[in-house]
Structure 1
Amino acid sequence: MTFQPDIAVIGAGIAGSSIASHLAAHRKVQLFEMEAQPGYHSTGRSAAIFSEAYGNETIRAFTRASRDFFYAPPAGFASAPLVTPRHVLVTARDGQEDALDHFTELARAAGHVEPVSIDAALALCPILRREVLSAAVLSTSPADIDVNELQQGYLRLFRQHGGVATMASEIVGLERDAQGWRILTANGEFRAPIIVNAAGAWAGEIGMLAGATDIGLQPLKRTACLIDPPVGHDISAWPMLLDVEEEFYLKPDAGMLLLSPADESVAEPCDAQPDELDIAIAVDRLERATTLKVRRIASKWAGLRSFVADRSPVIGFDRQAQDFFWFAALGGYGIQTAPASSRIAAGLILGNAGERDLDDFGIERSVMSPDRLVSEAAIRT
């Protein structure tokens, strides 16, 4: 017998996987992914770290609301810890002191952060150049996120609830009729009364296929690479090193050092590839700030982080396309906010007001609704 879903979720990155797991506990759900495996694009390429100081006010609220899940997930959700402590050392050069003060103010509201002396900063990360270091603060509340463990946990729940995943099924058409949505894929036609658009960088294109509101989604490319650690140093306990104006970041990763120029290059939805110039920029910035000499690039990659103009998520039903739900524009924060954002999104779809127990964290539904982005110029006619 053919599976007839109540809800079709498009995109099997962390957004689609997490919301599908919640919905499948209450409805029949089919998850569509254009790649052969879930999490191939942004989710699988993320240097995810849990930090309540990252992002705008909305992102920080979602992150605060996700903390308990990461540190004490439901029994059986994961076979290993979802997070491992990773301090973040934020550094400033001459002229960056005001930016460091601003970061410190935000970080203090989110967790423990304290100024550290130059000597203390060098003890924490001995490759720093003393002569260019003006000031530093240490945030001790962040943690590395095991992205694969998180996503696999959601996918296990999804399957346990009877959800059906359809891989290698690019969406080529969406049409609505009296019976609901016709979903045209590379593997044939499917139907569902409700569509959830969790397609990451492709969410804007999926919206166009559905005739939904143009939310102005823009994918931005971020580049990263792995480099060798300095000889004779145990880097396992090093903090993540972050330039206060995000000119680069460096963090230990499975015995190597992960380096990024923290770039945001405008891109179209694609299988993002690293640019040699961006890698060179990252290396130059690192070598200016530290004594490390990069002899080789062990591996390199790029991913897409998608935003709308106000850099807040878009979560809610579209006003133009009936029964079309946006779960998009999560930017580079989709992983660290997944526990709370997916619960709220699923709650809105199921009609239980979006998990009101999360209200204490200051999550405002109006600032994530797609309606906030609607203007006469943005509505397709």
Structure 2
Amino acid sequence: MNLEDIKRIKGLLSTPQRIAIIPHKNPDGDAIGSTLGLWHYLNNMGQNATIVSPNDAPKFLKWMPGSDKILNFEVENSQAVRVLKEATLIFTLDFNHLGRVGQMQSNLEEATAEFIMIDHHQEPSDYALVTYSDVTMSSTCEMVYNFINFLGDTDKITAEMANCLYAGIMTDTGSFKFSSTTSTTHRIVADLIDRGAKNTYIHNVVFDTNSPSRLHLLGCALKNMVILEDYATAYITLSQEELDTYNYKKGDTEGFVNYGLTLDGIRFAVIFIENKEEGIIKISFRSEGDFSVNEFARAHFQGGGHHNAAGGKSDVSLKETEEYFVSLLPKYKNDINQL
């Protein structure tokens, strides 16, 4: 953020505002952690802030301080719509295109409030008065920490805020192993621990609270894995029937796609998950090295994201999606295999 943006935000926050804070649909740890971290900060400074999520978050994120105050647009619609209509300022966190909020999109497009975007994904849309966009950042939670620092308020980070921000950084960096994790990221995490983030507890509550059905679903996913050594690629498919068999709950497939990259010689990993209710195949892409899954997802699967981590979707059947994906690989063989 430049000095002009910082001055503009300080001016906006110098007077009482009705603030809505928005994560993307199907929010992950970074989306929930960043919105809650910012929510605590704004309310602590005397603002009237409310988080409105397009839909529910996974159970393993609901330990975060303040998560019970998040409005679910799907379930608490009338109250959520009223918050968006009455808002004088709207923060959008961890996404950069209004299409990422699902059925909330029209409500945001009709809002009269000024927008502030905080996000680390590529190719941001131009809808915000202030856009804080940095694709080199590990996570939106790291950016919220910076945002608070830009405003000169690092000393106001409470233990509640620290726990939320730590969780988002931890999950979006793959427990600090992804290439976006920098020395600055570690310094920020160290400061959050000093300010009260319970790092061991957070890791345990996020990763070590599995249900038996989730582990059985993981077993099914790994059994379905297809390894294409010529293309340094591994992909997983999960049908709606398989999800139902193992009592799938929101968030149960989080991290499954990363197992492909644990294989020696594999540099491109994908998971295809059937969603009969929405009539789509949800897709997650991961890569190592120079192969851009962001560009791949944008070109072929109506998606995008980061260089090494992206998402997309398909409107045809699971089998047709799988066949189409495999047909694309010869074109990208050299790019995938290049370190």
Coarse TM-score class (shorter-chain normalised): under 0.3
Q: Which one has the largest radius of gyration?
A: 1
TM-score (norm 1): 0.25
Larger helix fraction of residues: 2
